[in-house]
């Protein structure tokens, strides 16, 4: 039996494909021949999903059981993500408002400086001194 897998750690891999009668070309693919070990099948555990794994130290196959993401879990994750995005949007709007207020203040100072400069030019043009 030839096992094609993705290595998860030094000692485990997630099985992608099981080839019961490998050909020469199969042996050229990345994986390993585990000999004539019997194929195992997952237990039916309510609410759990299974993933075929390989112990890379012993070449033993086994199933890893995990709780799949439910619709309720997806909804909770999306609601949390939505709340996070709303908070980021509020923060961005606040920062934009601060920038706008700062720009308005800066614009007012520029107008004030321009007006003062204009008054100086007018004073000089009328023959006055600074």
Specify the pLDDT at position 130: 59
How far is residue 1's CA from residue 6's CA, in Å, rounded to a whole number?
Answer: 16
Place of tokens 């130290």: 57
Spell out the residues 6+ positions from residue 76 whose beta carbon is closer than 8 angstroms to its own.
none
How far from 117 is each of 8, 110, 130, CA to CA, in Å? Answer: 72, 10, 11
| Element containing residue 32 per DSSP (H, E) | strand 32-33
Specify the pLDDT at position 54: 96
pLDDT category of residue 19 using cuts at 50, 70 and 90: very high
Read off the pLDDT of each residue in 70-93 and give the average, rounded to a whole number. Answer: 93
Q: 3-state SS string over 42-88?
A: CCCCCCCEEEEEEECCCCEEEEEEECCCCHHHHHHHHHHHHHHHHHH
Residues in the chain: 130
Say whether pLDDT at 20 is over 80.
Answer: yes
Specify the pLDDT at position 99: 92
């Amino acid at each position: 039996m030839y096992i094609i897998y993705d290595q998860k750690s030094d000692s485990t891999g997630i099985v992608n494909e099981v080839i019961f009668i490998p050909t020469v070309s199969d042996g050229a693919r990345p994986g390993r021949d585990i000999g004539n070990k019997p194929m195992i099948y997952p237990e039916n555990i309510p609410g759990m999903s299974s993933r075929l794994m390989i112990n890379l130290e012993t070449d033993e196959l086994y199933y890893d059981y995990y709780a799949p993401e439910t619709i309720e879990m997806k909804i909770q994750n999306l609601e949390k993500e939505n709340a996070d995005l709303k908070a980021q949007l509020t923060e961005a709007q606040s920062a934009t408002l601060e920038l706008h207020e700062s720009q308005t203040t800066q614009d007012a100072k520029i107008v004030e400086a321009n007006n003062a400069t204009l008054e100086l030019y007018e004073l000089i043009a009328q023959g006055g001194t600074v």
